[in-house]
Amino acid sequence: MQTFNDVFALMPLMLVGATAVAIMVGIAWRRQHGATAIVTAVGLNLALLSLGWLSLLGIPGTAYFVLDGLTYMASVLILVSALACVTLAHDYLGGYSGAREEFYLLLLCAVGGGLALSASQHLATLFFALELMSMPLYGMLAYTYRDQRSLEAGLKYLILSAAGTAFLLFGMALLYAQSGRLDFEGLVTSMTSRGSLWTLAGVGLILVGLGFKLSIVPFHLWTPDVYEGGPGPAITFLATASKVAVFVVILRLILAAPAFQSGALEQVLVVLAFVSMLAGNLLALLQSNLKRLLGYSSIAHFGYLMVALVVGEGLAVETAGVYLISYLLTNLGAFGVVTLVSSPYKGEDAAALHHYRGLFWRRPYLAAVLTVSLLSLAGIPFTVGFIGKFYVIALGVEAAQWWLVVGVILGSAIGLFYYLRVMVTLYLVEPGMRRRDAVDAWGWHPSGLVVVGVVMLVVVLGIYPTPMIDWMHWVAAASR
Amino acid sequence: MTLLWLILIPFIGGLLSWQAERWGEQIPRWIALLTMVLVMVLTLGLWWTRDFNLPGDTATWALEWQRAWIPRFGISIHLALDGLSLVLIALTGFLGVLAVLCSWREINRRIGFFHLNLLWILGGVVGVFLAIDLFLFFLFWEMMLVPMFFLIALWGHSGSAGRTRIRAAIKFFIYTQASGLMMLVAILGLVFAHQAQTGSYSFSYEALLGTELSEPLANILMLGFFVAFAVKLPVVPFHGWLPDAHAQAPTAGSVDLAGILLKTAAYGLLRFALPFFPEASQNFAPVAMALGVVGVFYGAILACGQNDIKRLIAYTSISHMGFVLIGIYAGTPLALQGVIVLMVAHAFSAAALFILSGQLYERLHTRDMRKMGGLWGRLGSLPAFSLCFVAASLGLPGTANFVGEFMVLFGSFPVAPVMVVIACGGLVLAAVYSLFLMQRVHFGPPEDDSRLGGLDKREFAMMLFTLALVFWVGLYPQPLLDTTESVTNAVSVVFNETPSDRVAELAGGGR
């Protein structure tokens, strides 16, 4: 019986993996872009359904993968964002002359990695899942490799990610040397009983490694270039699903080990969070490329999210969940519009701000979608971004982390400047410059529907957040 | 439900007029006009049918509406109306009508979207005046910035180099948003303090009123609220956004800013800052009043040195709001009533002056007073109206402003005689800048002898009606005072009773 449960617990992962295999076989047989995208979407939807079924069964998980509230939340978010990426990719790759179908293969592998990462409670699975998620991302980022920037993005991410991984492995080795255990539970007990300098160093190195993936200052240097160069759908996945998965695993580590909450490590986290908030926003100020700008803004957003890591109790899990949802939806909206404007693929993405000048007067609804996304990123009321920011500030106030509260306020004030700058650009009267534009009737393309749907969700959850809050309340309760 | 509709009508009207642009240029204007008239009529209907002159010193709502919203934090959609909010909403409705009318000819591009923004500002303001759940209040408080931002950024006038409309709009937004977040922190601090005492979250005004706070905490939280309101009012060190925003905004934007948005700050102080933190506010009162006096002089002196007519009027707003601040922190019933009259009066006079300068701009295509002069006799009745409103703005007896300023100063005198004596000097400066304005724009040698277009019927009616209101409130302010009396009394009681209570408590061996 135990074994059956183990199999069930891996159901979403297996479904995603099976879809990947099916697609690989399909490619070998005959290339068919539309069918590949549909099969991918079906597979992801099945995985999503199996999650619901699992939560009804109430299986605790296996020794390597835990099935708790956090896992469910992260898995749903990853799958939803992957679905959005598939849809965006279908329209985007429509104009790509090279092989198109492999993109979905890579995407599915990365999704599998993300699902495993968010559920891992063992350093071995953590490492394996992280790599499973990162490796396909190199390929996805460099997918349009004839475009130099895309290739550069892929290589840059590869090198810096490998460096991050090295730190991570070294940290794990140190922890293992100290405790002889690799599962979180065993690590925690050994950490609390004998907290030595080596343990601290190990934990620190693990944080560095994961911090690379989250692009927390000072490990953020790859972010703007990779965001700028990578193709739209790949960046959308990188910015949303992969970050959610990594953040959840850090959160799980910190929740498991109360050692994080005291002493030097907490101070380090506070400083990192504060610096990320400010540096991310300051560096974004003068960007003239929307993708770079969103990259810097994501640094700042993970700075805000780190408030939940610093506090690590009370409302922390709920805050992290709400903020992740708001971050995910908002970024899907924003990157979705960028991808849509650049679809179908015609070389480098249309991400420079002048491409968006006067968008409102050509494509009012598309511009409205981007406006709402930007407002939500800035945390303006009646968008889900405000609910997220509300939670973060509430958490900071409750835990009396005044520096972080100050950081959030300062960061938001600075952030407004560039969000507003972009927003105004959308509404300015267009000059006669050459521009790229979304296809006509974009709203009836699948990706158009996805973007509109996501943004409607941003507004609806901003006005009536109760379902989201209730769900996160449940997640927080089910994560203990 | 009426209260909910008061908020929803402008929002729906805005959407309608946005979409109506495709059927014709004039339709959005008419829809917007009807929407605001509807809001005004609804408010006046409430005024007529409900009794706001409630007895007693306790604040009671004349009308209330509540629905659960986010139960996790005890947040509900809780709207309530009393005399204070009624007066301000009526004002919003009236100025909304004016704003729509004054942009009838000024705005020719993207008319539908313009009216969407205009009406959403007004809807947000009505929401601010009605919401008594702090979360909801904050939501509206922040939300109304967005359409205002668009109004300035898209339809504004670019001034001299370095003073573009976009820069002004962004400055306005950042000032108010950042200070707003401080208020959010203060609100959350209050909520958590309340939760620590009672064990449950609540954002309800009435629940939070009774929260007992330690003195340092109360001081900090009070400052959080104060800063947010001080930026919006504006109080002098926080006023940097105002002249730019006013000068660069289209006429309708300036009318809304000066007429209503500044009043939301005074409303916030009266409704939230004083009742939540009476002791802390009482301790802070000398500082606040001193800031008010500084504002009176600073605004007046800088107004004298302006060449841009809209910047001049903007600085006079700072000066007038200084009086409002003095009155609020004096806290006597008379001063508080004066504050309300002054707010109404200032809304009329400043809005009218902004509309007049907008009309001048339409005719002369400049706001630079150095290029004006000698307009009396060339513009029909416009200069005469200017004279009347300038006279109102400097507080000539017979106008509403006189009543307001007089009551504020008279009511504050027993509390802070020195401040009042100094502030009276500001009245002299008010006369100086007002006469400056008249002299430089309308008198002196004319540039040219050709006649410019006079006021058309729409413009004439707007001005005449506003002027009539200025005189009506100036000559017979009693209905206004009756409506708001119970509110001001309640605030004043809360604000003034506490210290003596504390003394009694100490004498009785409490604490």
Domain edges within chain B:
280-511
The answer to whether A408 contacts chain B (CB < 8 Å) is yes
**What's the pLDDT band for B139 if we cut at 50, 70, 90?**
very high
DSSP-assigned beta bridge partners for residue A289: A352
Distance, in Å, from the CA atom of B241 to the CA atom of B315, rounded to the nearest integer, reads 11
Measured between beta carbons, the chain B residues lying within 8 angstroms of A388 are none
Run of H or E residues at B79? strand B75-81
Average pLDDT over residues A122-141: 93
Return the pLDDT at A357: 86
Return the pLDDT at A442: 77
SS3 per-residue string spanning A368-388: HHHHHHHHHHHCCCCCHHHHH
Indicate yes or no: pTM above 0.90.
Answer: yes
**What's the pLDDT band for A188 if we cut at 50, 70, 90?**
confident
Residue B507 reports pLDDT greater than 50: no
Distance, in Å, from the CA atom of B406 to the CA atom of B391, rounded to the nearest integer, reads 15
Q: Is A180 helix (H, G, I), strand (E, B) or coil?
A: coil
Which of B75, B167, B185 should we substitute to test contact with A (largest number of A Cβ atoms within 10 Å)? B185
Q: What DSSP string runs through B469-503?
A: HHHHHHH--HHHHHHHHHHHHHHHHHHHHHHHHHH
Distance, in Å, from the CA atom of B46 to the CA atom of B1, rounded to the nearest integer, reads 12
Distance, in Å, from the CA atom of B166 to the CA atom of B152, rounded to the nearest integer, reads 7
- CB–CB contact B154 A473 (8 Å): no
Average pLDDT over residues A390-411: 92
Return the pLDDT at A362: 83
Amino acid, res. B213: L
Amino acid, res. A455: V
Return the pLDDT at B59: 56
Query: Between B210 and A171, where is the model more confident?
Result: A171
Return the pLDDT at B506: 45
Measured between beta carbons, the chain B residues lying within 8 angstroms of A398 are 188, 192
**What is the token pair recorded at B462?**
């707007």
**What is the token pair recorded at A281?**
């926003």
Distance, in Å, from the CA atom of B293 to the CA atom of A94, rounded to the nearest integer, reads 67
Percent of chain A, pLDDT > 90? 59
Q: How far is A278 from chain B (nearest CA, A)?
A: 14
**What is the token pair recorded at A293?**
């700008």
Residue A461 reports pLDDT greater than 70: yes
Q: Do residues B152 and B249 lie in contact, with contact meaning Cβ atoms separated by under 8 Å?
A: yes
- CB–CB contact A424 B154 (8 Å): yes
The answer to whether A420 contacts chain B (CB < 8 Å) is yes
Average pLDDT over residues A133-162: 92
Closest CB from B70, B110, B166 relative to A465? B70
**What is the token pair recorded at B234?**
């504006």
Q: How far is A411 from chain B (nearest CA, A)?
A: 9
Measured between beta carbons, the chain B residues lying within 8 angstroms of A420 are 149, 153, 169-170, 173
Q: Which of the residue ranges A190-204, B257-271, B343-357 would you say has the lowest mean pLDDT?
A: A190-204
The answer for residues whose C-beta is within 8 angstroms of residue A92's C-beta and 6 or more apart is A231, A232, A233, A339, A342, A343, A344, A345, A447
**What is the token pair recorded at B324?**
């409002």
Which tens digits make up the pLDDT trace of B288-345? 999 999 999 999 999 998 888 999 999 999 999 999 999 999 989 999 999 999 999 9
Distance, in Å, from the CA atom of A325 to the CA atom of A312, rounded to the nearest integer, reads 18
What is the chain A residue with the closest CA to B114?
A427
Return the pLDDT at B325: 94
- CB–CB contact B188 A375 (8 Å): no
Query: Between B508 and B316, where is the model more confident?
Result: B316
Amino acid, res. B162: G
Residue B291, Cα to own-chain centre: how many angstroms?
18
Average pLDDT over residues A250-275: 82
Which tens digits make up the pLDDT trace of B42-52? 999 998 887 77
Q: What is the DSSP letter of B260?
A: I
Distance, in Å, from the CA atom of B67 to the CA atom of B62, rounded to the nearest integer, reads 17
Percent of chain B, pLDDT > 90? 54
Average pLDDT over residues B25-35: 92
Q: What DSSP string runs through B269-312?
A: IIIIIHHH-HHHHHHHHHHHHHHHHHHHHHHHHHHHT-SBHHHH
Residue A62 reports pLDDT greater than 50: yes
Kindly tell me the burial class for residue A198, based on how many C-beta atoms sit within 10 Å of its own C-beta (0-12, 13-18, 19 or more). middle
Q: What DSSP string runs through A131-150?
A: HHHHHHHHHHHTSSTTSHHH
Return the pLDDT at B502: 47
Residue A72 reports pLDDT greater than 50: yes
Return the pLDDT at A210: 92
Average pLDDT over residues B399-407: 93
Which tens digits make up the pLDDT trace of B252-298? 999 999 989 999 999 999 999 999 999 899 999 999 999 999 999 99
In this predicted complex, what is the ipTM? 0.88
Residue B129 reports pLDDT greater than 60: yes
Return the pLDDT at A179: 83
Run of H or E residues at A270? helix A264-284
φ, ψ for residue A471, nearest 5 deg: -60, -45
CA separation, residue B202 to residues B192, B194, B199, B227 (Å): 9, 8, 10, 23
- CB–CB contact B169 A394 (8 Å): no
Q: Taking the CA of residue A185 as centre, how many other CA atoms within 13 Å lie in the half-sphere pointing to its CB?
A: 5
CA separation, residue B51 to residues B58, B60, B335 (Å): 15, 11, 23
Return the pLDDT at A259: 59
Q: How far is B235 from chain A (nearest CA, A)?
A: 20
CA separation, residue A468 to residues A372, A464, B38, B166 (Å): 19, 9, 36, 36
Which of A277, A375, A401, A409 should we substitute to test contact with B (largest number of B Cβ atoms within 10 Å)? A409
Q: How far is A208 from chain B (nearest CA, A)?
A: 31
Measured between beta carbons, the chain B residues lying within 8 angstroms of A416 are 170, 173-174, 177-178
Short-list A6, A161, A12, CA closest to A78 = A12
The answer to whether A460 contacts chain B (CB < 8 Å) is no
Q: Is A65 helix (H, G, I), strand (E, B) or coil?
A: strand
**What's the pLDDT band for A4 if we cut at 50, 70, 90?**
confident
Short-list B212, B180, B179, B178, CA closest to B193 = B212
Average pLDDT over residues A418-431: 83
Which tens digits make up the pLDDT trace of A323-353? 999 999 999 999 999 999 888 888 788 888 8
- CB–CB contact A413 B174 (8 Å): yes
Amino acid, res. A382: F
Distance, in Å, from the CA atom of B484 to the CA atom of B336, rounded to the nearest integer, reads 9
What is the chain B residue with the closest CA to A368?
B113
DSSP-assigned beta bridge partners for residue B368: B308
Residue B365 reports pLDDT greater than 80: yes
Return the pLDDT at A204: 87
Cα angle for residues B223, B419, B175 (degrees, 5° grid):
35
**What's the pLDDT band for B25 if we cut at 50, 70, 90?**
confident
The answer to whether A386 contacts chain B (CB < 8 Å) is yes
Return the pLDDT at B511: 33
**What's the pLDDT band for A49 if we cut at 50, 70, 90?**
very high
